[in-house]
Structure 1
Amino acid sequence: MACSENMFFLIVLFISGVLVSFGQRNLIATMPDRLDVLTGSCVQIPCSFDIPDQHKDTFNSTILTSGVWIKGNQYFGERPDRVIFNSSETVNRYQGTITGNMSQKNCTTVFFNVTTSYSDKYYFRIESKPFRGTDTEKSVNIVVRDFPSSPIITVSGEVKEGTPVSLNCSAVAPCPEHPPELTWTLPTQFTTENQLQENPDQTKSVLSTVTFTPSYLHHEKNITCTSVYPVGTSNKRAEHNMMLNVSFSPKDTLASISPADPVLVGSCVNLTCSSTANPPVTNFTWFQISGDKPTQVASGQSYTLNVTVDGGLYFCEASNSHGCGKSKEVQLAIKGSGEHVNPTVFGVAAGTLGAFLLISLISLFVWRRNSRLHDGLERTDSPQGQNSPVGTVCTNQATAGEEPEEPAEDQPEEIQYGDIDFSKLQTKEIPAAAQDRVQGQESEYAEVNVTGRGATS
């Protein structure tokens, strides 16, 4: 009996081989082209099948149908060891199970404790009395790795400053019973949402969506999505790094003058405008403040001008498709009288100068008052008809050794003036009567009547 069954099996294999040799497809299987699997984990093969029209009359879905997986090559007639799993058998080379409902043509299968030796192509076959068939044109390539593949980050729409944006991170889940856990690293606060989803080829993956509002400070900052796979008692991880590309209007716009020091009238100076923007700045515009109103004077990142006596305040504007940015005002200072001075500095300088002048006037007033006081005192104390010991009368002196000429009797008296030397003034007590006389004296000079050789004050 056993010999007849073996003979029947060989005949079936021979017939299958003949059909294959003539290129007749007697089963249509649907499954992914490739699956990446982790060592020590499980792998789920999404699978479904259909019967070609010419064989539908021989297939009976109510009859128990067995699913068979063949490794490496669909021709297993001479290599029965290529059959690694048969759902009708209790012992198989690969530990696994068909989780799909075969009566509904669902052949989804799970293999457990995958090792690197599992890496190969696999073909699917069904056996149902009286129908048997293998899809020789469709296979799934299983690739077993020691480390998981990196997750994939995608961006939904433009990442623009001030506008909420969503980033998606997906990681394959070859073993849906133990899906990976996804985590994010971002330079700002965010919210996340994770879910297990089915892909178009019926494989599974975990999708994590993060939502945040970008700033221009986040431009060219790195973000990271990390996937952690539980494998046995340990974890295996992979990550994906991506640099943010944030669109924003011009920032940190700066106007500068070279040379920065005050310049001479008629010389050339160069004004330069710089700014940070994404996309880059497309237009620079220069303005001069005339009175209280800015006036456009040039376009371009650099502006060269000949210095006039006016000098003035300048600023620039930078713009791109997202907006514009304005710089602070810069002072074009001119050497000489036309040089512009900061109002605050001018006020401090003027106040200091005013205080100095006031103190000087007070000191001069006190000095002149004391001078008059001492002058009056000396003249009061001198005997009548004698020269003052302090003041030396300056007259036209004759040449040394010559006698001065006497004036003619009929010449009018000449009034001459002389300097009074206060450096020899002696401090004396002032009598009350002298003080009264001094109070009314205001003249700064001594009047001298020249009537002869002697002079009296």
Structure 2
Amino acid sequence: MACPENMFFLIVLFISGVLVCFGQRDLITTMPDRLDVLTGSCVQIPCSFDIPHQNKYTFNSAILPSGVWIKENSNFRERPDRVIFNSSKLVNRYQGEITGNISQMNCTTVFFNVTTNYTDKYYVRIESQPYRATDPDKSVEIDVSDLPSSPILTVSGEVKEGIPVSLNCSAVAPCPEHPPELTWTLPTQFTTENQLQENPDQTKSVLSTVTFTPSYLHHEKNITCTAVYPVGTSNKTTEHNMMLNVSFSPKDTSVSISPADSVSVGSCVNLTCSSTANPPVTNFTWFQISEGKTTQVASGQSYTLNVTGDGGLYYCEARNSHGCGKSNEVQLAIKGQEDSKTSGVGFWFLVSGVAAGTLGVILLISLISLFVWRRNLRLHDGLERTDSPQGQNSPVGTVCTNQATAGEEPADDQPEEIHYGDIDFSKLQTKDAAQDRVQGQESEYAEVNVTGSRAQVPHLNYLDGLYAQVN
């Protein structure tokens, strides 16, 4: 059995430990662990506190408590210069303001015109007669920089072709009075929505949400979220880039042939199927079209075959988890078929050319013959007229037509007169007439001069089978 002295010692030690433990947590504060601040801007420190039950009776909320901020270390009794702000004083080392209601245990504080010297750890102390306590176990670290921190980009779910998707961009707002402005750069049309929101640690940030419908053309394209922070009379800018990862079915599916030139029947040809897809193509299938019937002939990205007489039509299909894509149909070029087709076409053009040339020559000859015939006809008429000059007696009289202009009519006041003349047929020589008959000339024409005016006499005299027209 332990002696009474030892038992008493243990009890005293236990009570002392409990008192010491409660003495270290006379004040329990809640603050962010870290704040990133811009030089020349302001910083708001969200702050709240709680008082353990055993000390609440000493906290007098009726009298406005004071909030004190201590820099570097919570122990300020040996270093009073560590106290940089006291709400009960008018002059402080740091320009600031406690915006929270301390009576309601809200110690939120704003510091203005932050400089790089502000970078450090900070503790909170609450003073209210007779309650005074500091929380040495909780501090906030302030990091002051000349450049703002980059915004954060996040995607809500998988980005699939044709399905609307939302992208979120978040930028911290250490000075809620001057929050950053967020803008987007995307390779397509979009709509945005911006709002100032509170984070779980009670800090503020600006959230911008953009909504758009992605296409396979947007795959691996960059998007940018830019944050512009107003600082005094100038701005400070930062941005975050991200590459889009769009899921889509196979696109631009095509077939390449090796060798590309025409091949002989019986030789080997290699067909290769190419396609763009995300995720990559997992299955390639080959089809042949022959006599209007489509048949699956192989699988795999490449297909090697022996060329048959008809060559045939071929195409491929590429498939992934989002769908499939079909290539255009390709025709194998066969040497023999190409030569025969080329020869047939050449022969046809040759025959057509010869026929056209022959027709042209015949037409040309016909035109020339017609021209010569008409020309000879005119010359013949001219010679007949010049052979019997006017006023010369001929074996047989020749009718001479009126040389007046066609369509000319005699005047109404001058009646047409008919003049008659005597014809002496004794001058006709029988020998000459006989010779003319032998030569097959059945008609003789004589031109007779008459006295007076010349008039056309439509009078025919028949004599021995000869005709004469008297003018």
Fold-level similarity (TM above 0.5): yes
Alignment of structure 1 residues 112-151 onto 2, 5 Å: 112-151=112-151
Identity rate of aligned residues, in percent? 80
How far apart in 2 are the matches of 1:350 and 1:130? 120
2:160 aligns with: 160
5 Å matches for 1:31-42? 31-42=31-42
Does the 8 Å contact 1:281/1:320 carry over to 2?
yes
1:80 equivalenced with 2:97 (yes/no): no
Partner amino acid, structure 1, of 2:352: A
2:436 corresponds in structure 1 to none
CA distance in 1, matches of 2:317, 2:218: 23
Aligned amino acid, residue 189 of structure 1 = Q
Amino acid at match of 1:176: P
Cα distance, 1:57 vs structure 2: 2.2
Structure 2 CA distance for partners of 1:347 and 1:163, relative to 1, 3 Å: farther
Q: Given that residues 334 and 340 in structure 1 are in contact (C-alpha distance below 8 angstroms), is that contact kept between their aligned partners in structure 2? A: no
CA contact (8 A) 1:309 1:338 kept: no
Alignment of 1:57-456 (within 5 A): 57-337=57-337, 352=349, 355-356=352-353, 358-359=355-356
Contact 1:315 1:330 in 2 (8 A): yes
Closer/same/farther in 2, CA of residues 207 and 334 from structure 1, 3 Å limit: same
- How many Å separate the matches in 2 of 1:347 and 1:162? 51
Distance in 2 separating the partners of 1:178 and 1:131 = 36
The Cα of 1:354 is off from its aligned counterpart by 5.5
- Matched AA of 1:123: Y
TM-aligned CA deviation for residue 21 of structure 1: 9.1
2:54 partner SS: helix
SS at match of 1:202: coil
TM-score, normalised via structure 1 length: 0.72
Name the CA shift for 1:350/1:322 in 2 (closer, same or farther; >3 Å): farther
How many angstroms apart in 2 are the aligned matches of 1:106 and 1:84? 19
State the aligned residue count: 346
- Kept after mapping to 2: 8 A contact 1:249/1:278: yes
- Decide whether the 8 Å contact of 2:24 with 2:136 is kept in 1: no
1:25 aligns with 2:22: no
Tell me if structure 1 keeps the 8 A contact 2:24–2:135.
Answer: no
Instruction: Output one character per residue of 1:131-159: Cα deviation in whole Å (capped at 9) or x when no partner.
Output: 11111100000000001011111111111
| Aligned alpha-carbon RMSD (Å) | 2.5
**Contact 1:152 / 1:240 at 8 angstroms: preserved in 2?**
yes
Aligned residue in 2 for 1:380: none
Q: Give the C-alpha shift of residue 54 in structure 1.
A: 2.0
Measured in 2, the distance between the counterparts of 1:232 and 1:150 equals 20
Task: Tell me what 2:368 maps to.
Answer: none
CA contact 1:171–1:207 (8 Å) conserved in 2: yes
Shift of 1:189: 1.0
1:161-201, CA deviations, whole angstroms, 9 ceiling, x for partnerless residues?
Answer: 11111111110000000000111111111111111000000
Contact 1:20 1:136 in 2 (8 A): no
- Residue type matched to 2:304 in 1? T
Rg comparison, structure with higher value:
2
Contiguous gaps of at least 5 residues in structure 2:
1-18, 364-471
Q: Please state how far the C-alpha of 1:301 moved relative to its aligned partner.
A: 0.4
CA distance in 1, matches of 2:255, 2:283: 14
Q: Once the 2 structures are TM-superposed, how far is the Cα of residue 339 of structure 1 from its aligned partner?
A: 7.5
Q: Which amino acid aligns with 2:30?
A: T
Partner of 1:385: none
Q: Work out whether residues 310 and 338 of structure 1, in 8 Å CA contact, stay in contact via their aligned partners in 2.
A: no
Q: Do the aligned partners of 2:39 and 2:113 also contact (CA within 8 Å) in 1? A: yes
* 1:218-261: CA deviation from partner (whole Å, max 9, x where unpaired): 11111111101110111101010111111111111110110111
Report SS of the residue matched to 2:335.
Answer: coil
Structure 1 unaligned spans of 5+: 1-18, 367-457
1:115 offset after TM fit, Å?
A: 0.3
Aligned amino acid, residue 54 of structure 1? Q
